């Protein structure tokens, strides 16, 4: 373990390098930071940090830059993430509160995160496997046509128009709506097929063809939308980044939904709301070895529904990025809980 003085030197190197993108020398450190030691002591501490692999010298006669190991220690020993200002918090709340449905929430969230962090924002849609039925609505459209509306606890709304096998009065539609809600209210979407498997047999013979048609469309809807989905924004923010691996590799990784799903999955913590940071070589995907990922879960209460985060160069402002990711996740969770 490093003593507090060497930790202070490492912290100063990370902060200066993130700010200037220039290797940091001992003289500059002594001038910019109140380290309360001589430049000679700073040089000795930097030599020790380099020997232990926390910093490295990219060129002869140049200053030092942090390594992945150095960033890791810096993040692990952060006393606090940078809190957002009152104006930033109000802006986030107002922007997200204007969302009209789940798609709008996700779209606004990914744009907001990219703007706040100047990195690539990644947001996972709440998975159907963790969602429950909040309400099923049947809306008569014509004598033999109804609209099925499935609303989940995550705010997801699925709509399908159904052609019925016969003319059905509004009173029968209302009765079938009540039956469906009594059967499905609060149940997990993955359990719906099992719960409705014998539902037609429990109803009067005259209602069975109509119910069978409605259930067929309902189950098709669940199958079609079962795939997990991820959206990202802010790829243009990578243009000014200095990657140790090619930018092309990073952009190709962003286009692969499977890669992004795996990345967010690897940042999962035992505590859903905990921030997870993966730095450089800690990322399993070779094309992202020059990047860091800051992610956390969001959901309703203790129920984590999905994850969100940002991806950027290892030379990122970790306190600011971590603070923004945590704040945005908290607001999204509040919106879903209240929806």
> Whole-angstrom Cα distance, residue 189 to residue 228?
14
> How do residues 277-311 score in pLDDT, each as one tens digit?
999 889 888 788 889 999 999 887 667 778 999 99
Neighbours of 195 (CB within 10 A): 13
Backbone angles phi, psi at 293, to 5 degrees: -125, 130
The predicted structure's pLDDT at residue 220: 85
User: What end-to-end distance do the CA atoms of the chain give, in Å?
Assistant: 47
Interstrand relation of 291-300 and 65-66 (parallel, antiparallel or unpaired) = unpaired
> How do residues 197-229 score in pLDDT, each as one tens digit?
888 888 889 888 999 999 999 888 776 554 568
Q: Pick the more confident residue, 242 or 73.
A: 73
Give 150's strand partners.
136, 158
The predicted structure's pLDDT at residue 51: 95
Q: In what order do the strands lie in the sheet with 133-142?
A: 133-142, 145-152, 157-163
Q: How confident is the model at residue 315 (pLDDT cuts 50, 70, 90)?
A: very high
Interstrand relation of 133-142 and 145-152 (parallel, antiparallel or unpaired) = antiparallel
> Whole-angstrom Cα distance, residue 5 to residue 71?
17
**Does position 132 have pLDDT exceeding 70, yes or no?**
yes
Length of the chain: 339
In angstroms, what CA-CA distances link 159 with 139, 150, 174? 10, 6, 17
């Amino acid at each position: 373990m490093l003593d507090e003085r060497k930790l202070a030197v490492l912290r100063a190197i990370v902060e200066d390098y993130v700010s200037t993108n220039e290797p940091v020398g001992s003289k500059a450190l002594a001038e910019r930071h109140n380290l309360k030691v001589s430049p000679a002591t700073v040089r000795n501490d930097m030599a020790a940090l380099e020997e232990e692999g926390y910093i490295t010298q990219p060129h002869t006669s140049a200053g030092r830059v942090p390594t992945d190991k150095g960033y890791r220690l810096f993040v692990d020993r952060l006393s606090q993430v940078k809190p957002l200002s009152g104006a930033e918090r109000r802006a986030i709340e107002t922007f997200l509160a204007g969302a009209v449905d789940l798609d709008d929430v996700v779209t606004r969230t990914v744009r907001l995160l990219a703007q706040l962090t100047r990195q690539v924002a990644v947001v996972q849609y709440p998975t159907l496997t963790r969602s429950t039925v909040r309400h099923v609505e049947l809306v008569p459209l014509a004598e033999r046509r109804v609209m099925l509306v499935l609303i989940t606890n995550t705010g997801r709304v699925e709509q399908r128009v159904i052609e019925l096998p016969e003319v059905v009065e509004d009173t029968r539609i209302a009765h079938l709506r009540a039956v469906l809600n009594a059967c499905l209210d609060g149940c997990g979407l993955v359990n719906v097929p099992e719960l409705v498997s014998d539902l037609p047999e429990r109803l009067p013979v005259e209602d069975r063809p109509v119910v069978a048609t409605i259930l067929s469309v309902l189950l098709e809807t669940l199958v079609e939308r079962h795939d997990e989905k991820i959206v990202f924004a802010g790829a243009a923010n990578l243009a000014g980044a200095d990657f140790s691996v090619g930018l092309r590799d990073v952009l190709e990784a962003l286009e692969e939904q499977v890669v992004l799903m795996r990345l967010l999955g690897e940042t999962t913590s035992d505590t859903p709301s905990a921030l997870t940071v993966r730095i450089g070589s800690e990322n399993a995907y070779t094309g992202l070895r020059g990047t860091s990922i800051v992610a956390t879960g969001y959901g309703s209460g203790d129920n984590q529904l999905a994850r969100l985060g940002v991806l950027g160069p290892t030379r990122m402002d970790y306190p600011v990025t971590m603070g923004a990711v945590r704040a945005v996740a908290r607001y999204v969770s509040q919106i879903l809980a209240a929806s």
